[in-house]
Structure 1
C-alpha cells in the first residue's frame, strides 16, 4: 500500500504553523497521533494495515518530526492544534487513534470538540499521582541542547535505550523495571533520530502530558464512544484503576500484547460510521512527490518555488537545508534527508541517478538543474559506515566528522597540511546538530558521490 507524505500550513489566530503528516489507504478518515518523543513514522506499518479500512492520516504532533512547535506547552494547546490541523485539511468529522501522549491529546480534543469525532481508540491514558509527579520533576525532561563535542549524544542513546528497561527511564532500580526490555540498536536509533529532530522542543509535548490533570469527559457527558486499552508491560495499564467513572460508551480493556491492543482498537474503530474525506490541501512551498525511475520507487522531499524552473542539488552527505535555493527549488536527493532511499543498494552509475533527477525535474516542472561540488578526498574514507551499533558509537562518529570537515579538507586528514580557514559560527553546536542529522540520514552519500565522479569523467 502506498504511503504518501505531505506538508500543510495550519492557521490559528494570527499564527501559521507548518505541519507534516503521512497518509495511506482509502475510505473514512482516521486521524492518528503518536507518542512522545516519536513522530508519525511510528505508525507506518500500522497505517498500511489499517489503510484497508480507513484513509489513515498520521500527523507529526507540533514540535516533533517535521511539524513546527506550539509556543504553549499546555495539553489544551496541543488539542487545539489538532483541531486546527483538521480544519486545515477540511475534515469536519473523523475517527481517531492515539498512543500514550497522542491518546491523551485526542481525549482532550474530543472533550472540547465532541462533534469532530465519530469514535476514539487509544493506547493507555495516564492519571499521575502527586508522588509520581514529584518523582518525574525535572529529571524526566531535562533540557536537550547540542554540545560542542557531542556530549549530548551519549546521554541520548542511553536515555532511549533504557526507557524500555525502566519507568521512569532514570529510575534504574528493581522497583521500576519493565517487562518489555530490549537492546535492539535499529529500534533505538530510529527513536534517537526522532529525538534529534525534535530537539529541546520535546519537553513541551512530553511535558504537556506529564503535567496534564485527569481530563476525561464527565460520566454524564454526551460524547462519542472510546476504547482505552493497554497491553501487559505497558506502565499505563495500571492506571485503569485511576480513571474513575467513564462516560456511556467508554470502556477499558487489558490485553496481553501490542498486537492484541492494535486488534481490539481496530475492531472498536470499525463499529462507528465515519465520513469519507475529500481531497486534501497542501502547502505551496514544500511537499513530497512520488517518483518512479531507474530502480527508485519512492518519495522525494522538495522545498521552494515551483515556478522558478531551476532545481539546485545539495552535495553528497548533506540535505536541502544546506542549499541557498532562494527563489528556486531544492530537494533531498534519494537516500538523503527526508526523501526515501533506493529500494535496493544505491547505484553508483550516473545514468541511474540522472534518470531519477530528470523524473523529479519533470514532476516539479523545472527545466534546469545545478549540482553542488562534492567534497575532495577518497570516497571510502569520506563516508565511513554509520550503521547503528549496540552502544550508539555511530552518533559520535558522525558528530566528529561534521565538526572536522569545517577545519580540514578532507576531514580525515587532520593535520596542518590540510587545514582550512573556517568561521567559528560554523561549528556552533546548533549548526553542527543540523549537519549531524543530515549526515546520519545520508544513507546513499557514498553511492551518489561515486556516481558524480562518473558524471565528471
Structure 2
C-alpha cells in the first residue's frame, strides 16, 4: 500500500509517497512531474525496502523553493531526509531528478549510500550550450479557451504513449505558469564541478528510446569512470513506460 505524508521542513511542507519498510531509497522525478512518476515503482521496490518518492520543491504538492535551482532542489531533498530521520539513503533520480541526485550526492556524500542516475544528462559546458539553443520543452501560454491543454499534450505526444500523457498534463497544470523552471534549472547547473565529489557506487540507467538523454549516456559515464550501466532497450522518456524493468534494475543494484 502506498502511503502519503507531508514533512515539515525549513522550506515549508514537502509532500511524499512511501511504500514498504527497511533500507530507504529516495526517488526523484523529472520536470514538471511529481511523485506520480514512480506510482508503479513504489510497490515493487517497497517489497524489500522503504521506497519514498517525493515531490521536488516547487512541484506536485510541495512548497516552493527559494529559487528554482538544482542546488535548492537538492537542499529540499536533504531537508526531507532530515524530517524523515534518514541519516543515509540510496537516491535514484530520473532526468531532472537525476541532476538533483548528483547535487545531493556531491553536497552530502556521507548521506548517499548508492546513486542511480536514470536518463540523466551531462550538463557541462557542452550541455549548457546545447540547452541554450534548444527551444523550450513544455512552455505554453495559458488561454481562456483552454488551448494550452492541447499544447501541453502536443509538446510531449511524439515521445509519450498517449495513456501516459494524462498523467504528465495533470502534473504540468499543477505548476503553471512555472512549468519550464525545472528545465531552466538544469540548463544553468555546472555538473562538471560536482560529479567528482560523488563517493558512492553509481548506476547509470539509459532508455534507448529517449532521443535527448540517451545520447549523453557515454559522456556522463566518462565523468563517472567507476560507474556501472544498464540499458532499457525499449525504454522511452517517461519512466512509467517500463516501470517494472526499471524497478528490477534498481533492486538488483541496491542488493549487490
TM-score exceeds 0.5: yes
- The 8 Å contact of residues 122 and 216 in structure 2, kept in 1 or not, is answered as yes
* Correspondence 1:9 to 2:5: no
Question: What residue number does 2:109 align with?
Answer: 114
Q: Distance in 2 between matches of 1:238 and 1:154?
A: 29
Question: What residue number does 2:214 align with?
Answer: 237
Taking a change above 3 Å as real, the CA distance of residues 244 and 159 of structure 1, as seen in their structure-2 partners, is closer
**Aligned pairs (5 A) from 1:355-394:** none
Q: State the Cα distance separating 1:248 from its structure 2 match.
A: 6.4
* Correspondence 1:217 to 2:195: yes
Pick the aligned partner of 2:204 from 212, 219, 228. 228
- The 8 Å contact of residues 43 and 58 in structure 1, kept in 2 or not, is answered as yes
Q: Distance in 2 between matches of 1:238 and 1:44?
A: 27
Worse-superposed segment, 128-137 or 201-210 = 128-137
Q: Distance in 2 between matches of 1:150 and 1:222?
A: 45
Q: State the Cα distance separating 1:261 from its structure 2 match.
A: 4.2
* Correspondence 1:100 to 2:77: no
Q: State the Cα distance separating 1:86 from its structure 2 match.
A: 0.9
Taking a change above 3 Å as real, the CA distance of residues 222 and 103 of structure 1, as seen in their structure-2 partners, is closer
Q: Distance in 1 between matches of 2:88 and 2:102?
A: 15
Question: What residue number does 1:264 align with?
Answer: 249
Pick the aligned partner of 1:82 from 77, 80, 99. 77
Q: Deviations over 1:246-277 (max 9, x none)?
A: 45642333341344444322211222xxxxxx
Aligned residue for 2:133, secondary structure, equals helix
Aligned residue for 1:58, secondary structure, equals strand
- The 8 Å contact of residues 223 and 247 in structure 1, kept in 2 or not, is answered as no
Q: Distance in 2 between matches of 1:158 and 1:227?
A: 32
Aligned residue for 1:136, secondary structure, equals coil
Aligned residue for 1:120, secondary structure, equals strand
The structure with higher relative contact order (CA 8 Å, sep 6+) is: 2
**Aligned pairs (5 A) from 1:415-434:** none
- The 8 Å contact of residues 237 and 254 in structure 1, kept in 2 or not, is answered as no
TM-score (norm 2): 0.86
Q: Deviations over 1:95-152 (max 9, x none)?
A: 1111111111011110110011111112122125355223325x3353x453333232
Question: What residue number does 1:60 align with?
Answer: 55
- The 8 Å contact of residues 121 and 269 in structure 1, kept in 2 or not, is answered as no
- The 8 Å contact of residues 69 and 201 in structure 1, kept in 2 or not, is answered as no
TM-score (norm 1): 0.50
Tell me, which stretches of 5 or more residues in structure 2 are unaligned? 236-241
Aligned residue for 2:157, secondary structure, equals helix
Worse-superposed segment, 81-90 or 105-114 = 81-90
Tell me, which stretches of 5 or more residues in structure 1 are unaligned? 165-180, 272-457
Question: What residue number does 2:149 align with?
Answer: 153
Taking a change above 3 Å as real, the CA distance of residues 156 and 141 of structure 1, as seen in their structure-2 partners, is closer
Q: Distance in 1 between matches of 2:149 and 2:51?
A: 33
Report the aligned-residue RMSD. 2.1
Q: Deviations over 1:143-195 (max 9, x none)?
A: x4533332322322212323x1xxxxxxxxxxxxxxxx53x2x3211111111
Structure whose CA Rg is larger: 1
- The 8 Å contact of residues 8 and 14 in structure 2, kept in 1 or not, is answered as yes
Q: Distance in 2 between matches of 1:241 and 1:247?
A: 10
* Correspondence 1:33 to 2:28: yes
Pick the aligned partner of 2:132 from 131, 134, 138. 134
**Equivalent residue pairs, number:** 243
- The 8 Å contact of residues 63 and 202 in structure 1, kept in 2 or not, is answered as no
Q: Distance in 2 between matches of 1:30 and 1:195?
A: 25
Q: Deviations over 1:322-355 (max 9, x none)?
A: xxxxxxxxxxxxxxxxxxxxxxxxxxxxxxxxxx
